[in-house]
């Protein structure tokens, strides 16, 4: 038999369900109190540092960060259910999303002791906000072609170049920049890349807004004008940037934000059908079914990643249940299916609604926002075309 | 790390799965060449019977092996992947279960199962012409009755389904149905759910094998001087097949796990089975279309194995409720859940919180 694409499903036990109830009760209370208005794609577009800090106070940030670094020392599975509950109600989670999802785990894996002490407690309290500095004007899908240069100087590295599409850079304290620290060797394109922890408040950094088609400002162009990064802010090993960046893709691509970005719109459509303002239609069932199945897939991968993390940490025989599934290929599959589904939900509701829909209405404003955000779903974090290639490779096609 | 377990891993007994995989791999090598009509494979049935696999899920008290739904689903999927012409779903998963629910004896001889209409006629009864006896579930005014009717007492008009399986019309003597044992009123819905999930398990087993055939083909078949799988358009079709099959499997496995852990008593079963049936049904479109596209002309021939899988996949996705009917059922559940209870519905299959008196669940 071929090896399965997705790890075997796992079943949530009461300890996790209790955690869900706790988070759910808090969120219901916040919505009642008007602390936020549920929306779509909030993990990219809705910043609320107070809300983020409140999550930190409640122990729902830095969940996988060990307690000696100010985190909660809990598992990826617990983190998973907390993030699901936050996403389905469309809570304003953008301020901490990137730090919480990938910066923290990267620091844990590659950071020095000093770096962990410097950043992880602040991330876990929701006080330090991070972005991702990978894409450049001439380097999108072909990330290894980045041109930002890192030149050796006394005690550090001088970074020169331009990063683009940097979500939240104008609000962030820092980002991880991927830069070329050795000249390109066409035979080994992935060599010579390094990651740097960049303080975005440094004077040599210029952040210019890029306005999205709906008029919002969430991403930016970040110009690195020769900022010197001290050796103590090199992440991991010089020259290992590529493998460091790609090793976290499993977390970045398989999480619930890859299929729940438009859940609020789906929920609004369900209630509109219940009230009769939209026709009851079988398509709703089809989309709900896909979301449910995606939850199972994504959760299974989270469980496999947890096992991988445990076995990395020296646990015994932990990887057994995940079998020999390649988690990164599985994560790519969740991202393609999930982000397509988020967009299909949008398009589905759009095809059901007539143009006379009242503008101030909740469903209408969710729909309009979803239509505007939709193109990004299947681009960000690796486009679906690139990811299909990853899956094909995982299947042995090349 | 928390002390209480966070998850459980519902997997079928791996030793059994190994045995099944070996057995059906072997069958695949030796089975008769493809034909339009599938004949019941008495030799295979005999081998399965010797191993206790024709009564895998029936309780030990009734002469079965007492295995759960995890194992039953594994058997259904692996057998479907080998295009085995044997009625495991009908004989064991449905007929044996109905007999047991009715407290009727089961001598283990080949049975199929059906739900005749009020006039005693059942259509699309797979394998009726091969069975020695037919277990009928009949709605007699407001109660359900189960009868075990010897095939010679019924009139059988032979037919075939798209898969080429015997798929017959059975006309019963009403007296045989009226004398059936009255069973619990939930059995009608249970039958529909079990049938739908059994079909889903078969379809995902078939899709796994389709993917295998597709991957082998695109790495072996060469055009323009290279394996066709190197062409991005082809690679993307294959990735789509793999992803849809995986989604359908996750949905089906989740429903099977829920059935196994609650012995079908979980109130979320209707939703869970619906999710499986919907995802499987829509995946079938992508998988079948993509596989035939990638295989080219050879895949459209009788000689090639592909149709032994694609035809049953399409046939089975429409049994025990069409894809559309299941989508409608889910739409009703979702719309009555409404805005705030949609997510609990997705997670648990129930929109309403569990009543305290019913205990945990
Ligand atoms: C909402 C949003 C937020 C983002 N946030 C960040 C961020 O915070 N930090 C960051 O670094 N980046 C961010 N990005 C950038 C994102 O990572 C890139 O958009 C993505 O990698 C694609 O690059 P590109 O846009 O340059 O498109 P291109 O790479 O130019 O691709 C254009 C089209 O060509 C296709 N294509 C390209 N190469 C191939 C190939 N080999 N085979 C088949 N098709 C191909 C692509 O699939 C796509 O359809 C964000 C993007 C979006 C939309």
Tell me the domain boundaries of chain A. Answer: 14-129, 132-240, 246-394
Superfamily (CATH) of domain A14-129: Acyl-CoA dehydrogenase/oxidase, N-terminal domain (1.10.540.10)
Distance CA B185, CA B177 (A): 16
User: Which whole number is the average pLDDT over A73-84?
Assistant: 96
How many Å separate Cα A266 from the centre of its chain?
21
Question: What does the angle CA A283 – CA A289 – CA A295 come to, to the nearest 5 degrees?
Answer: 140
Q: Is A321 a residue whose pLDDT tops 50?
A: no
- pLDDT by residue (tens digit) across B174-183? 999 999 999 9
Alpha-carbon torsion angle B194, B286, B210, A322, nearest 10: -70
Paired residues of A223 in beta bridges: A162, A206
A246-394 has CATH 1.20.140 classification: yes
The pLDDT value recorded for residue A319 is: 43
Partner residue facing B243 (CB), from A9, A268, A333: A333
The pLDDT value recorded for residue B61 is: 77
* pLDDT level of residue A252 (50, 70, 90 thresholds): confident
The pLDDT value recorded for residue B1 is: 45
- pLDDT by residue (tens digit) across A104-135? 999 999 999 999 999 999 999 999 999 999 99
Residues of chain B with CATH 2.40.110.10: 109-183
Partner residue facing B250 (CB), from A73, A285, A297: A297
Best mutation site among A42, A140, A248 for ligand 1 pocket (most ligand atoms within 8 Å of CB): A140
Best CA proximity match to B211, nearest among B200, B223, B203, B199: B203
Q: What is the CATH number of domain A132-240?
A: 2.40.110.10
Q: Residue A9 and residue B254: Cβ atoms within 8 Å?
A: yes
For the stretch A97-103, contacts whose Cβ atoms lie closer than 8 Å and that sit 24 or more positions apart, written own/partner, are A97/A43, A97/A44, A97/A257, A98/A130, A98/A131, A98/A132, A98/A167, A98/A168, A99/A123, A99/A128, A99/A129, A99/A130, A100/A61, A100/A62, A101/A251, A101/A252, A101/A255, A101/A257, A102/A132, A102/A248, A102/A251, A102/A252, A103/A130, A103/A176
Best CA proximity match to B25, nearest among B276, B254, B277, B209: B209
The pLDDT value recorded for residue B14 is: 94
Q: Return mean pLDDT, chain A.
A: 94
A284 touches chain B (CB under 8 A): yes
Q: Is A165 in the pocket of ligand 1 (CB under 6 A)?
A: yes
Question: How many contacts (CB atoms, under 8 Å) link A and B?
Answer: 210
| Strands annotated E in B158-281 | 167-171, 181-183, 222-223, 226-227
Q: Which residues contact B3 (CB under 8 A, 6 or more apart)?
A: none
On whether the CB atoms of residues A221 and A208 are closer than 8 A, the answer is yes
> Which of A91-100, A316-325, B151-160 shows the lowest mean pLDDT across its residues?
A316-325
On whether the CB atoms of residues A324 and A312 are closer than 8 A, the answer is no
* The two three-digit tokens of residue B146, written as one number: 């189960």
Which residues of chain B are under the pLDDT cut of 50? 1-2, 356-361
Pairing type for strands B133-140 and B111-114 reads: parallel
* The two three-digit tokens of residue A117, written as one number: 């002490």
The pLDDT value recorded for residue A2 is: 63
Superfamily (CATH) of domain B186-348: Butyryl-CoA Dehydrogenase, subunit A, domain 3 (1.20.140.10)
Distance CA B177, CA B182 (A): 10
Best CA proximity match to B257, nearest among B10, B9, B7, B36: B10
Sign of CA dihedral B123, B127, B133, B135: negative
* The two three-digit tokens of residue A30, written as one number: 């916040």
The pLDDT value recorded for residue A314 is: 62
What percent of chain A has a predicted confidence (pLDDT) above 70? 97
Predicted complex: ipTM over 0.90: yes
Distance CA A239, CA A243 (A): 9
- pLDDT by residue (tens digit) across A181-201? 999 999 999 999 999 999 999
B287 touches chain A (CB under 8 A): no
Q: What is the CATH number of domain B109-183?
A: 2.40.110.10
- pLDDT by residue (tens digit) across A19-56? 999 999 999 999 999 999 999 999 999 999 999 999 99
What are the Cα distances from residue A362, in Å, to A268, A344, B227? Answer: 8, 19, 51
Q: How many CA atoms lie within 13 A of A382 on its CB side?
A: 24
């Amino acid at each position: 038999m071929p090896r399965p694409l997705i790890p075997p499903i796992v079943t949530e036990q009461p300890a996790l369900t209790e955690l869900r109830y706790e988070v759910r009760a808090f969120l219901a209370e916040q919505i009642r109190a008007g602390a936020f208005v549920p929306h779509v794609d909030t993990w990219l577009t809705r910043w609320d540092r107070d809300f983020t800090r409140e999550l930190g106070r409640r122990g729902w940030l830095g969940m996988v960060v060990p307690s000696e670094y100010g985190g909660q020392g809990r598992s990826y599975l617990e983190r998973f259910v907390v993030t699901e509950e936050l996403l389905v109600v469309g809570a304003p989670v953008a301020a901490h999303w990137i730090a919480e999802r990938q910066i923290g785990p990267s620091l844990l894996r590659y950071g020095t002791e000093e770096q962990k002490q410097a950043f992880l407690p602040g991330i876990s309290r929701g006080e330090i906000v991070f972005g991702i500095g990978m894409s450049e004007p001439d380097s999108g899908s072909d990330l290894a072609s980045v041109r930002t240069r890192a030149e050796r100087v006394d005690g550090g590295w001088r970074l020169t170049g331009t990063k683009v599409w940097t979500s939240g850079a104008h609000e962030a304290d820092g980002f991880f920049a991927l830069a070329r620290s050795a000249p390109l060797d066409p035979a080994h394109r992935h060599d010579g890349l390094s990651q740097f922890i960049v303080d975005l408040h440094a004077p040599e950094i210029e952040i210019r807004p890029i306005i999205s088609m709906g008029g919002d400002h969430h991403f930016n162009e970040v110009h690195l004008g020769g900022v010197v990064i001290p050796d103590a802010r090199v992440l991991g090993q010089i020259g290992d940037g590529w493998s460091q960046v790609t090793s976290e893709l499993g977390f970045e691509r398989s999480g619930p934000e890859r299929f729940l970005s438009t859940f609020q719109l789906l929920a609004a459509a369900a209630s509109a059908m219940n009230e009769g303002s939209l026709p009851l239609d079988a398509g709703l069932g089809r989309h709900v079914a896909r979301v449910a199945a995606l939850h199972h897939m994504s959760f299974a991968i989270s469980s496999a990643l947890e096992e991988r993390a445990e076995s990395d940490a020296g646990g015994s025989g932990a990887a057994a249940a995940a079998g020999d599934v390649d988690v990164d290929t599985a994560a790519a599959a969740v991202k393609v299916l999930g982000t397509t589904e988020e967009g299909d939900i949008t398009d589905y509701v759009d095809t059901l609604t007539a143009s006379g829909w009242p503008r101030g209405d909740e469903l209408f404003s969710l729909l309009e926002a979803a239509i505007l955000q939709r193109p990004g779903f299947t681009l960000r974090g690796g486009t679906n075309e690139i990811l299909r290639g990853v899956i094909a490779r995982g299947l042995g096609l090349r | 790390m928390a002390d209480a377990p966070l998850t459980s891993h519902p997997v079928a007994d791996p030793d059994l799965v190994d045995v099944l995989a070996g057995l059906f791999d072997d069958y695949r090598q030796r089975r008769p060449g493809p034909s339009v009509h599938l004949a019941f494979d008495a030799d295979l049935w005999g081998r399965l019977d010797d191993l206790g696999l024709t009564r895998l899920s029936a309780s030990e008290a009734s002469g079965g092996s007492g295995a759960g739904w995890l194992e039953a689903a594994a058997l259904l999927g692996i057998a479907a992947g080998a295009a085995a012409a044997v009625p495991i779903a009908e004989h064991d998963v449905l007929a044996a279960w109905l007999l047991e629910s009715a407290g009727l004896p089961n001598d283990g001889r080949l049975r199929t199962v059906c739900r005749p209409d009020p006039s005693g006629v059942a259509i699309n009864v797979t394998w009726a012409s091969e069975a020695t006896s037919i277990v009928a579930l009949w709605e007699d005014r407001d109660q359900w009755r189960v009868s075990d009717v010897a095939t010679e007492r019924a009139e059988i008009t032979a037919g075939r389904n798209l898969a080429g399986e015997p798929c017959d019309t059975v006309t019963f003597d009403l007296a045989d149905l009226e004398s059936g044992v009255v069973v619990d009123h939930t059995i009608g819905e249970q039958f529909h759910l079990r049938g739908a999930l059994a079909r889903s398990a078969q379809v995902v087993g078939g899709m796994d094998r389709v993917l295998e055939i597709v991957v082998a083909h695109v790495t072996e078949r060469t055009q323009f001087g290279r394996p066709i799988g190197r062409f991005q358009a082809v690679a993307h079709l294959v990735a789509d097949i793999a992803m849809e099959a995986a989604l359908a499997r996750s949905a089906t496995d989740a429903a099977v796990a829920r059935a196994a852990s609650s012995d079908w008593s979980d109130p979320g079963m209707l939703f869970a089975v619906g999710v499986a049936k919907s995802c499987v049904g829509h995946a079938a479109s992508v998988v079948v279309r993509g596989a035939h596209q990638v295989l080219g002309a050879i895949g459209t021939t009788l000689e090639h194995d592909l149709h032994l899988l694609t035809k049953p996949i399409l046939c089975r996705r429409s049994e025990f409720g069409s894809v559309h009917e299941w989508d409608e059922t889910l739409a009703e559940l979702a719309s009555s859940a409404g805005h705030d209870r949609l997510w609990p519905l997705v997670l648990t299959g129930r929109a309403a919180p569990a009543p305290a008196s019913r205990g945990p669940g």
